[in-house]
């Protein structure tokens, strides 16, 4: 078998799971209920956030928060302060693609 198969959880509760962590990229799957999110942190690679459902509230560095909805992909450069949250009723589900893999930068 040449291909690899990866599966992700299909639930309506908080989930942060690493799906892929190889030389090419890191791929995380996240689900946040209302009022949940990630602790403030800095992007450790070039990051793409793909909103699969719900509404993402994203604050980068010192700019105002912006909202992104299902079907949108947000690109965040390396070393940007991030606040990732769900402040809306609907469950937020997103995939976070880091390319190159943060290992490339050697910050870890």
40 assigned to some structural domain: yes
Q: How confident is the model at residue 106 (pLDDT cuts 50, 70, 90)?
A: confident
10 assigned to some structural domain: no
5 assigned to some structural domain: no
26 assigned to some structural domain: yes
Where residue 23 sits, what CATH number does that domain have?
2.60.120.10
- Which tens digit of pLDDT belongs to each residue from 22-47? 988 999 999 999 999 999 999 999 99
Query: Distance between CA atoms of 91 and 87, rounded to whole angstroms?
Result: 10
Question: How many domains does the chain divide into?
Answer: 1
30 assigned to some structural domain: yes
Query: Distance between CA atoms of 24 and 39, rounded to whole angstroms?
Result: 25
Q: What share of the chain is helix, strand, coil (3-state, %, to 5)?
A: 5, 45, 50
93 assigned to some structural domain: yes
33 assigned to some structural domain: yes
7 assigned to some structural domain: no
Segments forming the whole domain that contains residue 72: 15-105
Q: Which two tokens stand for residue 53?
A: 């459902």
- Which tens digit of pLDDT belongs to each residue from 45-89? 999 999 999 999 999 999 999 999 999 999 999 999 999 999 999
């Amino acid at each position: 078998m040449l291909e690899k198969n990866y599966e992700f959880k299909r639930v309506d509760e908080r989930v942060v799971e690493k799906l892929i962590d190889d030389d090419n990229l890191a791929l995380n799957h996240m689900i946040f209920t209302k009022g949940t999110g990630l602790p403030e942190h800095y992007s450790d690679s070039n990051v793409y956030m793909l909103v699969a459902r719900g509404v993402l509230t994203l604050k980068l560095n010192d700019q105002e928060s912006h909202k992104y909805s299902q079907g949108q992909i947000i690109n965040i450069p390396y070393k940007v302060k991030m606040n990732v949250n769900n402040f809306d009723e609907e469950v937020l589900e997103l995939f976070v693609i880091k390319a190159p893999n943060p290992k490339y930068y050697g910050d870890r």
